[in-house]
Amino acid sequence: MSKIYFLFLIVFGFTSLKAQTQQEYALNLIGACYQQSKTFETHSFSWIGLTSIVSDEADKGSSSGDNPYNLDLLDNLTFNSNMAPLINVWNGQYQGVYNCNRALYYLSYMNNNATYGNRLKGEAYFLRAYYYFNLVRLFGDVPIPYFSPDDTYDAQVSKYIRKTKAQVYAQIENDLTQAISFLPLKDTYGASDKWRASKGAALALMAKVKLYQGQWSSVINYADQITGYSLSSNYQDNFKVSGENNIESIFEIQGTYDVNNNYNGIQGYSTVQGGRGSEGWGWGFNTPSATLQNTYENGDTRKNATIITLGTTLWDGRYVPTNLTNSRYNYKAYPGAHADAWETDVNIKVLRYAEVLLMKAEALNETSQSISALALVNQVRNRAGLTSLSVSGYTAVRDAIRKERKLELAMEHDRWFDIIRTGQAVSVMASDGKTFQSYYNVFPIPQQIITNSGGLTTQNPGY
């Protein structure tokens, strides 16, 4: 009876609010979904460790004696279930899921204009799908918790019962189907809202979700529906503050000023990767590897747009002194004017149109359309200042696509996932002098979660 009364209060309370009050509350609910993506746990130090440092494209960096969170264990592929990065990223991503669950729950009781209310739901569905996509790629089978305003026992249990990867992907696809139906195109947003999730973002994420499942025809189908985007003429422009949310941008984690000019950026993302030393601007972690640096062809403009080297001048005029601790730094994390701030205004690129072209190319090649696939690869290469390839045949085109993904998306948190999903991890990491175990396809479930669950949560095999 008390639950029925509580639900009555929710329905009566929200439907009785003035329209303006409801709209403000709805925006706050959705704002929390976005805001979680900016936290230190969700997309900063730990996320960097689990997506970049662990791979062949980056090294721990910093100094040998500075090793918070045991990042050297990730760099050396000797990680374990008690590591702080695991619980940090788990909690950060799941807080994002919780915020989206909460938003969707309360939005269902509000009397917003149908178009506006559905748009907000679409944003929440998209963001929840994004958080789940990160979780399933990192940990495999994961819980699909639901929101209960009075936090029932069943809701508590749902936080710990792991669902299969197939079930999680089904949840992601259901969310994205809703998002695609509700969200507007990017160019219909006002100038101040261009950063919000759009139909194009939902379509692109769906194409990527299908890519990870090897559903090639679906990748092509969703990629073909993405319109209104093109490659930026200058690759590096994508990673300058002035190029954020540009014609190539499909979705980014935002690091911006809020309306009151109080800084509201991504916590620590730039600082932890900045140049280390008395004349530097950061901690020096996640340094691009020599392996990555040596993969670029002569004349590839992506090299100097991705890797900061000593003795050079950056796009905003900053000179990089030669006495810094490390010889290379991540240029894509460099924010310019606010390089010394904890919350910097550099955005994290999540989906760019260049990746859509490469996803479609991969799917075309896998469906015996290598000539069409190579044409898309060459679009990406030409923008980078490189001549077109003239290779032919499935294997040659596949290898070209893999190389272009490695260089085009370098330091954008995809490399580790790419070498695993394509079956390259053993050979790639061996070339980097490290041993990839078969069970590394997913990380261990954080031991803290297993302990807190009282036995409801199980560990991944091998750990």
Tens digits of per-residue pLDDT, 4-59?
Answer: 433 434 444 454 455 557 778 888 999 999 999 999 999 999 999 999 999 999 99
Report yes or no on 46 lying in a domain. yes
Q: Which domain holds residue 319?
A: 266-344
- In angstroms and rounded to an integer, the radius of gyration of the C-alpha atoms of the chain is 22
Last residue in a domain, options 314, 344, 374? 344
327 and 461, same domain (yes or no) = no
Same domain for 280 and 160, yes or no, is no
A 10 A CB-CB count for 277 gives 17
Same domain flag for 281 and 134:
no
**371, part of any domain:** no
Q: Is the pLDDT of residue 145 over 90?
A: yes
Q: Are strands 256-257 and 263-264 parallel, antiparallel or unpaired?
A: antiparallel
Q: Is residue 355 part of a domain?
A: no
Q: Read off the CATH number of the domain in which 80 is found.
A: 1.25.40.390
DSSP bridge pairs for 58: 288
Amino acid at 128: R
Q: What is the reported pLDDT for 345?
A: 77
Q: d(Cα 94, Cα 38) in Å, to the nearest integer?
A: 13
* Domain assignment present for 126: yes
Is the same domain home to 40 and 158?
yes
Which pLDDT belongs to residue 337?
A: 79
What is the rounded distance in angstroms from the CA atom of residue 103 to the CA atom of residue 22? 12
pLDDT digits (tens, 9 = 90+) for 103-141: 999 998 887 788 899 999 999 999 999 999 999 999 999
Give long-range contacts, CB 8 A cutoff, 24+ apart: 433-440.
434/76, 434/77, 435/77, 436/77, 437/77, 437/462, 438/462, 439/463, 440/77
User: How far lies 329's CA from each of 71, 179, 243, in Å?
Assistant: 17, 36, 20
Mean pLDDT across the stretch 233-257?
A: 92
pLDDT of amino acid 2: 42
Q: How far apart are CA 401 and CA 338, in angstroms?
A: 36
One domain, residues 443 and 314: no
Domain co-membership, 49 together with 158: yes
Does one domain contain both 49 and 178? yes
| 306, 449: one domain | no
Question: Mutual orientation of helices 370-383 and 353-366 as an angle, nearest 10°?
Answer: 160
Report percent pLDDT > 70 for the chain: 94
pLDDT exceeds 80 at position 179: yes
Which pair of tokens denotes residue 207?
């194409």
Distance CA 285, CA 287 (A): 6
Percent of the chain with pLDDT over 90: 85
Report whether pLDDT(398) > 60. yes
In-domain check, residue 409: no
Write down which residue in 344, 362, 395 finishes a domain. Answer: 344
Rounded to whole angstroms, the Cα distance separating 139 from 168 reads 11
Domain-embedded: residue 305: yes
The mean pLDDT of the chain is 93
Q: Specify the pLDDT at position 262.
A: 53
pLDDT surpasses 90 at 454: yes
What are phi and psi for residue 268, nearest 5 degrees?
75, -5
Residues 335, 445 within the same domain: no
Total domain count, the chain: 2
Same domain, 271 and 176: no
Evaluate whether residue 393 is within a structural domain. no
Considering the domain architecture, whether residues 279 and 161 belong to the same structural domain is answered as no
Determine, yes or no, domain membership for 64.
yes
Q: How many beta carbons lie within 10 A of that of residue 13, not counting itself?
A: 10
Single residue among 305, 323, 344 that ends a domain in this structure: 344
